[in-house]
Structure 1
Amino acid sequence: MDRRLTTPHVRRRDLLAGIAIGTLAAPAVLRAQGGAGAGPIRIGEINSYTAQPAFLGPYRNGWLLAQEQINAAGGINGRPLETVFRDDAGKPEDAVRMASELVSAEKVALLAGGYLSNVGLALGDFAAQNKVLYAASEPLTDALVWSKGNRYTFRLRPSTYMQAAMLVEEAAKLPARRWATVAPNYEYGQSAVKWFRELLKAKRPDAEFVGEQFPALGRIDAGATVQALERMRPEAIFNVTFGTDLLNFVRQGNTRGLFDGRSVASMLSGEPEYLEPLGEECPEGWIVTGYPRDDLENPVHTAFREAYRKRYEAPPRCGSVVGHDIVQAIAATLRKAGGTDTEAMVAAFEGIRFQTAYGTGEVEFRAADHQSTLGAFVGRTRLEGRTGKMVDWRYADGANYLPSDAQVREWRPQG
């Protein structure tokens, strides 16, 4: 049985509207423009909704907002977008089974989604084997577009390599020389640590990595992890934990004084879905990648933020931007392709450009590796009142943190 969404971050009326979005969201304007008889363009979206609700509830809201806006404006050449959602619960084998069902039974034109890196890799392999377009929104593993990249897989978010490079740029300026690392023990965490080590050593040959901790995803023994890190006597820590693991790690680290007098560089920790739950336990001065939602003022982002607030009576999260952006990228591809032929969509996706909801300009999907140039914000954490926020931030354009086409050709399979 396919899993339906039960995350508390999605209100029931929004959930029900989303399930039926394809049949209910095709307004009269679509029929007037010749959409009658053509039918909706169906997208199969697979994600770990029940396993990672903090990010994926807002992500789905952002997706539906974009879909509603596109359909209200006439859809894709008069055809509405319709999404069939599935919940893989964080299990790669379930994601692959659902992908097969979406393609064969639901007749979707393409697949999208993915949060955990192992799930994204499984969907990428399915896409290659079955010649189905897969627009990966979130999985950050570099392998998805490099060592295991393929013609049919594209990825939106900046990868572990890219975000590690952004953090290294700031970490290299610190006086700290002795580093320890902590990351979840699966592809994403392992890749993030690998690249942070290599990129920091390239900028700071005197950097020394004195130890590492790889707790199981979602099952961190935070007390033991903090004790182990303390015994290493590092001058700085690179953290890759997120979600409840991050909360437990910060709580134990604060209690045991792990962060006293130590610098921390932390991937994703400036995203509201991970930063805000820390509340008064928010650590001070961590170097983070994230999303300074409330302080990001430009016409595009302000319009997105207000539309989201009006639709969901809540502020957007980083996941909201990712969901909104991937739908915009898919829509741009469909317009350029002129239909849903898979090979035409693949050709259109290569080099496609669209405007990100961040309002920082256009984003491009590179032909060389199918990685987008979407960037991230880099700043520091600060406790203000009873909650943490991201301050002293700057936008790091993803195009500036990607390897050259020549390097990609060495890493990526040919053909």
Structure 2
Amino acid sequence: MVRTHGISRRALTGIAGLLALATTAGSLSPAAVSAQEPVRIGEINSYSRLPSFTEPYRMGWTLALEEVNAAGGVLGRPLEVFDRDDGGHPGDAVTAANELVSAEGVDLLMGTFFSHVGLAVSDFAHQRGVFFLAAEPLTDAIVWEKGNAVTFRLRPSTSMQAKMLAEEAAKLDATRWAAIAPNYEYGTAAVAAFKEAMATLRPDIEWVEEQWPPLGKIDAGATVQALARAEPDAIFNVTFGPDLTKFVREGNTRDLFEGRDVVSLITGEPEYLDTLGVETPDGWIVTGYPWPSIDTPEHTAFLDAYQTRWDDYPRLGSVVGYAALKAAAAIVEKAGSTETEALIAAAKGIEVATPFGPITFRAADHQSTMGAYVGRTALRDGKGVMVDFRYVDGANVLPSEEEAKALRPE
């Protein structure tokens, strides 16, 4: 069951049982499950700020929600999701989290997209003693420097994906490098992580230029000119969304990418390749999601279910939303309770099935071992796609649990 902003819990109380009755099956009868007090999940995300990712994300967790309830719910109880839009603003996210906890009585929090928003909700959850499953924010700090007891994170972090890309970038002949990234936590952390990884693999390289456009306000012309003047052999790019589109368009116009290697974080996700379309540059090394070409039993099952439900293809956000909801359900089931301490204990070391295969939430730092696909961009039939890709297990690019634990303030 889904609750959206503007629809109060009280207004829907009368139909909650009917909705659970319509979607519940399994070892308990639908009537038995619907009669139980639901497990309430408070979901917060930047739906209006970055709909290309967050709307597929919503479709992903909605599919998972329907599957969980159709299989009998968790602990014999239906799941309910109360979702809120934070607009990409930390303050609005904290306000939403407070409303969800205080007014809606949710048992746990889930979601967020931007790193600074995720950190704000993590801090709120810690102060209030509420379990928080951070689905998308990529900042390392959320599980390391600013990690806390109640927060667990699903997606591979900036440093994890930077290491994946560095393994490929180190094979290039390029020695003069430039970087471009949005000037906020995610961007600065991504560049720092990539530089650190490259310093180990290729101590001969030098950094000749850095551009830090404000998030969502890139001056693409000036940025491209500055990068071109530095005459780098290769560029590390961290822009995404509308900023990425503007950067690529201006770079193509001014031939910035001609004869230069580009390594680009998350650009291979359909959310961004679809938008680039015929402007998709050729041969960039990227992390992403080559959904049409992944041939594993787990992904095939997810793809079939998703396309049947939505008559659409999944984006990376779809996978994240689906896996996040399934992880939340698995944690509650293992905990046997919705008490925060029980959820924390259950989440440590739990293995969860996802469309990318099984993942584990590490006990030491609360980071999951979900990986990412690394490949190159190409243009096929007027569409951007990923080719020559491979899946990198997140466990292979994480520090040891002992090293990670030492990074946490606890």
Q: Distance in 2 between matches of 1:21 and 1:45?
A: 18
User: Could you tell me whether the CA contact under 8 Å between 2:177 and 2:207 is conserved in 1?
Assistant: yes
Aligned pair in 2 of structure 1 residues 22, 308: CA closer, same or farther (>3 Å)?
A: farther
Corresponding residue of 1:353: 351
Q: Does 1:24 align with 2:19?
A: yes
Q: Offset of 1:21 from its aligned partner?
A: 8.2
Q: Offset of 1:335 from its aligned partner?
A: 0.9
Per-residue CA distance 1:21-71 (angstroms, 9 max, x = gap): 886244353555743542111100001100010000000000000000110
Q: Offset of 1:122 from its aligned partner?
A: 0.2
* 3-state SS in 2 of match to 1:54: helix
Corresponding residue of 2:400: 404
Q: Where do residues 228-267 of structure 1 align in structure 2 (5 Å cutoff)?
A: 228-267=226-265
Task: Please give the TM-score of this superposition, normalised by the length of structure 1.
Answer: 0.93
The one-letter amino acid of 1:116's match is F
User: Could you tell me whether the CA contact under 8 Å between 1:25 and 1:68 is conserved in 2?
Assistant: no
User: Could you tell me whether the CA contact under 8 Å between 1:3 and 1:87 is conserved in 2?
Assistant: no
Q: Distance in 2 between matches of 1:280 and 1:21?
A: 46
Corresponding residue of 2:71: 73
* 3-state SS in 1 of match to 2:77: coil
The one-letter amino acid of 1:41's match is V
User: Could you tell me whether the CA contact under 8 Å between 1:44 and 1:84 is conserved in 2?
Assistant: yes
Corresponding residue of 1:218: 216
The one-letter amino acid of 2:400's match is S
Corresponding residue of 1:147: 145
Corresponding residue of 2:306: 308
Aligned pair in 2 of structure 1 residues 216, 325: CA closer, same or farther (>3 Å)?
A: same
Corresponding residue of 1:170: 168
Corresponding residue of 1:368: 364
Q: Distance in 1 between matches of 2:320 and 2:333?
A: 20
Identity of aligned residues (%): 59
User: Could you tell me whether the CA contact under 8 Å between 1:3 and 1:88 is conserved in 2?
Assistant: no
Match of 2:102 among 101, 104, 107: 104
Corresponding residue of 2:323: 325
Q: Offset of 1:211 from its aligned partner?
A: 1.3
In structure 2, stretches of 5+ residues that fail to align are 7-11
Corresponding residue of 1:281: 279
Q: Distance in 2 between matches of 1:22 and 1:222?
A: 53
Q: Distance in 1 between matches of 2:44 and 2:81?
A: 10
Q: Distance in 1 between matches of 2:373 and 2:361?
A: 19
Match of 2:33 among 29, 32, 35: 35
The one-letter amino acid of 1:397's match is D
Q: Where do residues 187-198 of structure 1 align in structure 2 (5 Å cutoff)?
A: 187-198=185-196
User: Could you tell me whether the CA contact under 8 Å between 2:17 and 2:35 is conserved in 1?
Assistant: no
Q: Distance in 2 between matches of 1:21 and 1:394?
A: 44
Corresponding residue of 2:381: 385
Match of 1:199 among 197, 200, 217: 197
* 3-state SS in 2 of match to 1:174: coil
Q: What is the count of residue pairs matched by the alignment? A: 398
The one-letter amino acid of 1:169's match is E
Q: Offset of 1:312 from its aligned partner?
A: 1.1
* 3-state SS in 2 of match to 1:168: helix
User: Could you tell me whether the CA contact under 8 Å between 2:21 and 2:33 is conserved in 1?
Assistant: no
User: Could you tell me whether the CA contact under 8 Å between 1:184 and 1:214 is conserved in 2?
Assistant: yes
Q: Distance in 2 between matches of 1:95 and 1:48?
A: 9
The one-letter amino acid of 1:314's match is D
The one-letter amino acid of 1:375's match is G
The one-letter amino acid of 1:190's match is T
Q: Distance in 2 between matches of 1:94 and 1:34?
A: 38
User: Could you tell me whether the CA contact under 8 Å between 1:31 and 1:78 is conserved in 2?
Assistant: no
Q: Distance in 2 between matches of 1:354 and 1:213?
A: 39
* 3-state SS in 2 of match to 1:38: coil
Match of 2:333 among 332, 335, 359: 335
* 3-state SS in 2 of match to 1:248: helix
Corresponding residue of 1:52: 50
Q: Distance in 2 between matches of 1:380 and 1:26?
A: 47
Q: Distance in 1 between matches of 2:246 and 2:4?
A: 28
Q: Distance in 2 between matches of 1:409 and 1:139?
A: 20
Q: Does 1:158 align with 2:156?
A: yes
Match of 2:124 among 123, 126, 132: 126
Aligned pair in 2 of structure 1 residues 205, 168: CA closer, same or farther (>3 Å)?
A: same
Q: Distance in 2 between matches of 1:217 and 1:271?
A: 19
Q: Offset of 1:183 from its aligned partner?
A: 0.5
User: Could you tell me whether the CA contact under 8 Å between 1:282 and 1:382 is conserved in 2?
Assistant: yes
Per-residue CA distance 1:118-169 (angstroms, 9 max, x = gap): 0000001011111100000000000000000000000000000000000000
Corresponding residue of 1:94: 92
User: Could you tell me whether the CA contact under 8 Å between 1:33 and 1:78 is conserved in 2?
Assistant: no
Q: Offset of 1:410 from its aligned partner?
A: 2.8
The one-letter amino acid of 1:134's match is F
Aligned pair in 2 of structure 1 residues 365, 242: CA closer, same or farther (>3 Å)?
A: same
* 3-state SS in 1 of match to 2:125: helix
The one-letter amino acid of 1:244's match is P
